[in-house]
């Protein structure tokens, strides 16, 4: 009796192994065709979606490593904009007497510096990200765009921490919230997308031209002065103001203030900023995708 199942079992198992030896039928179409790229390429967003977990892990690595290697860890995210605020308050608030639209100047500066610091750090780290991941790029395949994207998303973590300082400062100056605050998520998204657009572009350029690594910090420094972080755009004569609207960061920074302090939005400049962001994002996504297959050969 007991032997009965034991006798039948091997037979069933051997059938199973036979089907196992001749496993799943092969798909009728190849899962991948590898051949030289010709002409226009599609962005292959489907593939990007299948790699979403890797974006999470790369971001998580960036954040984890950054906080492990520094003594002050997360405090840096707060200290950077805080010290700049103090310096700007002394020079521009006190000495130059910049018109801060009725908001106390330190708060005015901090509200600009927090998103600006996010943008600047995100662009810098994502611009250098591909070159820094050469060992990955020459050894494993994955959509390369995840590397600069992870650097930007990792910057968001710092941004959230730094934002807490801003909340503290608003409580200190007793600034009440208005419905304008509802625009905040939209603005964070716009900043992230613009940082991604610029960072992705720079990272690809950096693979080919290492000049980017040296030029980028310099460009970012100058960019700070034309992004309405220190002085409002209204300080500029009317006939030059259109120039500022070509810089999406200027409109974004001013919109953060409008959202936080209940000031009126400048929908026109914000609209232009959104259009420019999307245009730069599209351009840089396509040009990135066109050259990403050569990264492993030239990095």
List, as own/partner pairs, every contact residues 88-94 make where C-beta atoms lie below 8 angstroms and the sequence separation is at least 24, other chains included: 88/113, 88/230, 92/230, 92/231
CB of 87 to another protein, least distance (A): 32
How does DSSP classify residue 236? S
State the residue for tokens 């292959």: 44
State the residue for tokens 């492990």: 68
Distances in Å between the Cα of 44 and the Cα atoms of 52, 240, 289 are: 13, 41, 9
3-state secondary structure 59-104: HHHHHHHHHHHCCCCCHHHHHHHHHHHHHHHHHHHHHCCCCCCCCC
Return the number of the residue (158 or 254) whose C-beta is nearest another protein.
158
Return the number of the residue (90 or 134) whose C-beta is nearest another protein.
134
Return the number of the residue (20 or 185) whose C-beta is nearest another protein.
20
CB of 164 to another protein, least distance (A): 25
Q: Concatenated DSSP letters for 151-171?
A: HHHHHHHHHHHHHHHHHHHHH
CB of 220 to another protein, least distance (A): 17
Return the number of the residue (6 or 17) whose C-beta is nearest another protein.
17
Q: Which residues bind another protein (CB under 8 A)?
A: 20-23, 26-27, 30-37, 53-54, 56-57, 60-61, 64-65, 68-69, 135-142, 207-211, 293-294, 296-299
CB of 26 to another protein, least distance (A): 5
**Burial class of residue 39, CB neighbours in 10 A (0-12, 13-18, 19+):** exposed
CB of 158 to another protein, least distance (A): 18
244 vs 264: CA distance, rounded Å: 18
CB of 19 to another protein, least distance (A): 10
Return the number of the residue (68 or 239) whose C-beta is nearest another protein.
68
Return the number of the residue (92 or 286) whose C-beta is nearest another protein.
286
């Amino acid at each position: 009796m007991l032997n009965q199942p034991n006798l039948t079992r091997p037979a069933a198992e051997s059938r199973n192994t036979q089907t196992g030896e001749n496993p799943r039928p092969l798909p009728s179409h190849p899962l991948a065709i590898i051949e030289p790229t010709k002409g226009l390429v599609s962005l292959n967003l489907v593939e990007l979606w299948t790699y979403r977990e890797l974006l999470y892990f790369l971001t998580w690595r960036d954040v984890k490593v950054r906080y492990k290697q520094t003594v002050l860890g997360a405090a840096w995210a707060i200290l950077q904009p805080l010290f700049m605020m103090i310096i700007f308050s002394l020079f521009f608030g006190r000495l130059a007497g910049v018109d801060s639209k009725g908001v106390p100047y330190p708060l005015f500066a901090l509200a600009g510096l927090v998103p600006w610091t996010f943008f600047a750090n995100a662009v810098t780290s994502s611009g250098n990200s591909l070159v820094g991941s050469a060992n990955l790029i020459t050894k494993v395949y994955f959509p390369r765009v995840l590397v600069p994207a992870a650097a930007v998303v990792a910057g968001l973590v710092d941004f959230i921490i730094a934002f807490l300082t801003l909340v503290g400062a608003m409580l200190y100056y007793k600034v009440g919230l208005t419905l304008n605050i509802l625009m905040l998520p939209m603005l964070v998204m716009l900043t992230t997308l613009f940082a991604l657009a610029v960072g992705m572009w720079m990272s690809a350029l950096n693979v080919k031209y290492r000049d980017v690594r040296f030029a980028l910090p310099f460009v970012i420094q100058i960019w700070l002065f034309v992004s309405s972080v220190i002085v409002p755009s209204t300080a500029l004569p009317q006939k030059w103001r259109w120039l500022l609207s070509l810089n999406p960061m200027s409109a974004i920074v001013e919109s953060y203030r409008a959202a936080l302090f209940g000031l009126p939005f400048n929908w026109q400049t914000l609209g232009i900023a959104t259009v420019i962001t999307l245009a730069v994002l599209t351009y840089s996504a396509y040009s990135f995708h066109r050259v990403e297959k050569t990264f492993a050969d030239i990095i």
